[in-house]
């Protein structure tokens, strides 16, 4: 009995020495992983679900809350990319190109390693292009309204110089009309390209082994 007890104590001692020296590798179960890793996986998953449901405000709140809770971390930096991606979703009517570009600029200005640097740079160029198109379209629409208002003011009184319509009379498009059509076509193409990229980037990440 004494010999058996001595061997048991020796085995325990050797095991403790091996563990303390790192000779034995122990894999921690998922519930022992650092809290930030679990919180980030859960937050990103839930934010993407909310965005897929069209609840972009809720998705943005989740990401913003995480960044506030874990400031300065790699995961907090990644929230800027995902917030911009959701802001650029064509079905998101509460966001703006300005907020998306601000998030992307902050993300790209970081010198720390980033998971989506190339994608963020592409999205930033598209967002800037679409923002310019929107501004040009707004300017062209305002000029068209001014031209229409001026034409109504300067038009002769039809009661003074009225004539029946002549066959072949055609209302030709004005330069402003042509410019508006061109801008709308470009904006539609940019929106289609953005949607294609958004769908590709929003694919679920591969599951961790």
Those residues with Cβ within 8 angstroms of residue 126's Cβ, 6 or more apart along the chain or in another chain: 88, 190, 193, 194, 197
CA distance 25 to 28: 10
pLDDT in single tens digits along all 209 residues of the chain? 544 545 555 454 443 433 344 444 445 554 545 689 999 999 999 999 999 999 999 999 999 999 999 999 999 999 999 999 999 998 998 888 899 999 999 999 999 999 999 999 999 998 888 888 878 877 777 777 776 666 666 655 555 555 555 555 555 566 666 766 776 777 777 777 777 776 766 666 555 55
The pLDDT assigned to 15 comes to 39
Confidence at residue 19, expressed as pLDDT on a 0 to 100 scale: 38
**pLDDT at 209 (0 to 100):** 53
The predicted structure's pLDDT at residue 110? 94
pLDDT number for residue 69: 96
| Cα–Cα distance, 175 to 191 (Å, whole number) | 24
Residue 158's pLDDT is 56
Q: Is 85 exposed, middle or buried (0-12, 13-18, 19+ CB in 10 A)?
A: buried
């Amino acid at each position: 009995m004494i010999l058996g007890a001595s061997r048991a104590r020796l085995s325990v001692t050797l095991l403790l020495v091996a563990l303390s020296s790192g000779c034995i590798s122990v894999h921690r179960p998922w519930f022992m992983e650092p809290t930030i890793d679990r919180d980030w996986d859960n937050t990103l998953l839930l934010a993407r679900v909310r965005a897929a449901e069209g609840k972009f405000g809720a998705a943005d709140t989740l990401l913003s809350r995480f960044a506030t809770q874990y400031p300065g971390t790699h995961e907090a930096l990644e929230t800027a990319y995902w917030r911009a991606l959701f802001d650029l979703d064509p079905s998101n009517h509460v966001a703006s190109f300005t907020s998306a570009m601000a998030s992307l600029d902050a993300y790209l200005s970081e010198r720390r390693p980033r998971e989506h640097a190339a994608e963020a740079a592409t999205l930033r160029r598209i967002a800037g292009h679409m923002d310019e198109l929107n501004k040009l379209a707004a300017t062209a629409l305002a000029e068209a309204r001014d031209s229409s208002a001026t034409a109504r003011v300067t038009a002769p009184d039809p009661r003074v110089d009225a004539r029946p319509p002549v066959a072949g009379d055609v209302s030709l498009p004005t330069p402003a009309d042509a410019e508006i059509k061109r801008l709308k076509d470009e904006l539609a193409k940019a929106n289609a390209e953005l949607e294609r990229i958004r769908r590709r980037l929003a694919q679920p990440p591969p599951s961790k082994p």
